[in-house]
Chain A
C-alpha cells in the first residue's frame, strides 16, 4: 500500500463577508501519494488558492483536517517549499540570488560552506549556474522563476507547493519551465501540489489531476494521468490518450459533464 504524504480530510472553509458567510470549500477529501505530482484545477474563483493556503498552513480550515507526516497541520509543515506565480513579489530585490536562496536555510543548522554548496547545486539544477551574485531584477522573468525553484530545492523539501508557477512567463519560457519541473521530479521525486488554470499543463506534468467544482467547491473528479515518463512536449501532447484526458478534465472544469 502506498503512503499518503498529505491527507486532506473533509476540509471545509467559510469566509465571513458583509453579505453573510461565504462557503468556499465544502468538504474536500483527497490523499496525496508520496512522491506524486498533483495538479489542482477548476474554474476561476472556485477556491484553488484557498486550498493551497490551507495546505501551506497559512490559513486554518473551518472544519476538517489536513494530516502531514502523521501530524495535524497548524502552520507551515517542516520540509515545505513554495513557488508562487508572482516571482517579483516573492523574491527579495535587496538580496542577491545567492542570499535569496540561502535565506530559508537560516533555520537549518548547516555550515556556511554547506549553504554555499547547496545554493550552487540548486542553481545548477535549474540551469542558472554562476548567477549567485546577480540581483533578481537583473534577470528575465523565466530566470527569476528558476531562482524561486532553486530556492525551493535548496531546502531539500518533502513537499513542494506551487501556485500558478508558470502563469507570468511567455509561452516558450513556460515550456522550458515545465520541462525543468519534470527534470526536478525525475531527480528528486518530491511530493508536489500545483494549482494551475492551464489544463494542458496539468495533464502534461501530473500523476493526478484533481478537479474542484461548485459553490462551495467539492472534488468533482480525480483524473489519473498514467502517461509514461519521461514525457516530452511533442510526443506526450500528441498522444491520443493525452487528448482524451485533457478533454475529460476540460469538461469537468466547465461543468459540462
Chain B
C-alpha cells in the first residue's frame, strides 16, 4: 500500500494501535477496574485539565526545572569536558570517577536533596544537573581526545598553534559527541524533573500526578502521564532537528 504509506506517518499507526490495546486492556482486559483508567478516559481527563490553571502551572514548573537543569548541565559540563579532554592524563584520571558518578541514578539523591535544598524548583534543577553533568563532560572530553590525529598533524605542519587546533579542529570534532550527549541530557532532564516531583515533592507535573493518584483520580493521573509522553517526544524531536543543523557534516 504505497499510497497509504505516503499519507499516514508510520509513527501514528503504532500510536493508534497502542491506544487501542490500552483501551481494551483497561475496559475488558486484565486491568479493568476503578484503579486503572482507559485510554479514552485519560484523553477526556486531559482535555478537561486544559481548562485547569493548576495543570498549566505544573507544566510550566516542570519545563522550568528541565530547561534550567539542562542548560546549567551544558554550561558546566562542556567547558569542563573540554579542559579534561585536553590532556591525556586528566582524561584518564577523571574518566574513572566520572563514570562512577554517571551511573548513580539521581533518584537516590532525593533524600539528601530534600534535606539540603528542600522540595522546590531548585531541587529539581540540582537533580537534573547531577543527572547530566558527568555524562556530558565525559562525552565532551572523549570527543576532544578523539580528534583525528591526522587533522592535528596537518595543522601542526601549517604551524597552527594549540589554540587554533582547539578552535578549528578539537571543538568541531567534539561537537558530534556533544550533540549526542545533548539529546540524552534533554530527555534525562525532563525525566528527572518529573521524578523530583513524583518522589521528592518538588513542584510540577510529577507532584501533580502523585496528588491525583492519592486522590483516587486515575484518569487524571494518566492524563499527566500522557502529557509527559508528549513533552518528551516534542523535546527529542526538537533536539534531533537542532542537532542535524549544528553538526551537519556528521556521518558524511
Interface residues of A (CB under 8 A from B): 56-58, 75-76, 78, 80-82, 84, 86, 89-90, 92-95, 103-104, 106-107, 135, 137, 155, 161
Q: Judging by beta carbons under 8 Å apart, are A90 and B150 in contact?
A: yes
Task: Give 20 new A-B contacts, CB below 8 A, not counting A76-B159, A81-B157.
Answer: A57-B156, A57-B157, A80-B159, A81-B158, A82-B157, A84-B154, A89-B151, A90-B150, A92-B151, A94-B175, A94-B249, A103-B155, A103-B160, A103-B168, A104-B160, A106-B160, A106-B164, A107-B160, A135-B249, A161-B157
Distance in angstroms between the alpha carbons of A135 and B248 in the assembled complex: 10
Distance in angstroms between the alpha carbons of A90 and B157 in the assembled complex: 11
Q: Judging by beta carbons under 8 Å apart, are A76 and B150 in contact?
A: no
List of A residues within 8 angstroms of B164 by Cβ: 106
B99 interfacial by beta-carbon distance below 8 Å? no
- Distance to closest chain B CB from A43 (angstroms): 23
List of A residues within 8 angstroms of B169 by Cβ: 92
Distance in angstroms between the alpha carbons of A30 and B169 in the assembled complex: 35
Q: What would be 24 A-B contacts, judged by CB atoms less than 8 Å apart?
A: A57-B156, A57-B157, A58-B156, A58-B157, A76-B159, A78-B159, A80-B158, A81-B158, A84-B154, A86-B150, A89-B151, A94-B175, A94-B247, A103-B158, A103-B168, A104-B158, A104-B159, A106-B164, A107-B158, A107-B160, A135-B252, A137-B249, A137-B252, A161-B157
Q: Judging by beta carbons under 8 Å apart, are A94 and B172 in contact?
A: yes
List of B residues within 8 angstroms of A92 by Cβ: 151, 168-169, 172
B148 interfacial by beta-carbon distance below 8 Å? yes
Distance in angstroms between the alpha carbons of A84 and B156 in the assembled complex: 13
Chain B contact residues: over half helix, strand or loop, or mixed? helix
B146 interfacial by beta-carbon distance below 8 Å? no
Give the interface size class of chain B: 10 to 19
* Closest Cβ neighbor of B164 among chain A residues: A106
Distance in angstroms between the alpha carbons of A75 and B168 in the assembled complex: 20
* Closest Cβ neighbor of A107 among chain B residues: B159
- Distance to closest chain B CB from A102 (angstroms): 11
List of B residues within 8 angstroms of A57 by Cβ: 156-157
Partner of A93, one of B157, B160, B252: B252
- Distance to closest chain A CB from B150 (angstroms): 4
Distance in angstroms between the alpha carbons of A135 and B151 in the assembled complex: 16
B153 interfacial by beta-carbon distance below 8 Å? yes
* Closest Cβ neighbor of B247 among chain A residues: A94
List of B residues within 8 angstroms of A75 by Cβ: 159
- Distance to closest chain A CB from B201 (angstroms): 45
List of B residues within 8 angstroms of A78 by Cβ: 159
Distance in angstroms between the alpha carbons of A82 and B158 in the assembled complex: 8
Q: Judging by beta carbons under 8 Å apart, are A76 and B157 in contact?
A: yes
Q: Judging by beta carbons under 8 Å apart, are B157 and A89 in contact?
A: no
List of A residues within 8 angstroms of B158 by Cβ: 76, 80-82, 103-104, 107, 155
Given A76-B157, A82-B154, A104-B160, the answer on whether A89 and B148 have CB atoms closer than 8 Å is yes
List of A residues within 8 angstroms of B252 by Cβ: 93, 135, 137
List of A residues within 8 angstroms of B155 by Cβ: 103
Distance in angstroms between the alpha carbons of A155 and B160 in the assembled complex: 13
Q: Judging by beta carbons under 8 Å apart, are B172 and A76 in contact?
A: no
